[in-house]
Amino acid sequence: MEIRPNAYAWRQVPDEIERRIEAGQHQPGMPIPAERRMAEELGVSIKTVRRAVGELRDEGVLETLPQKGTFVVDHQGG
């Protein structure tokens, strides 16, 4: 993904994570890449990735398990 100029990165990053989930790149029950790696891939700050992950966690799309990582929630498995 390339962050579009003149657009808010913090609005684009959660959309990109959801796009990757819908495309099957991030499977339910599986971890998403580490924040640092994702920030590098997307060309944004770690703070921006953390904000996006927090937003998706609040929406129930992701869950973070201490010392394990952040995972895609499996809405069909439970």
Domains, the chain, in order of start with CATH, read 9-72 (1.10.10.10)
Residue/partner pairs of 51-54 with CB below 8 Å, 24 or more apart = 51/10, 51/13, 52/10, 52/13, 52/14, 52/17, 53/17
pLDDT at 67: 92
* Mean pLDDT by groups of 10 residues along the chain of 78 residues: 63 92 94 95 92 96 95 78
pLDDT at 46: 94
pLDDT at 78: 47
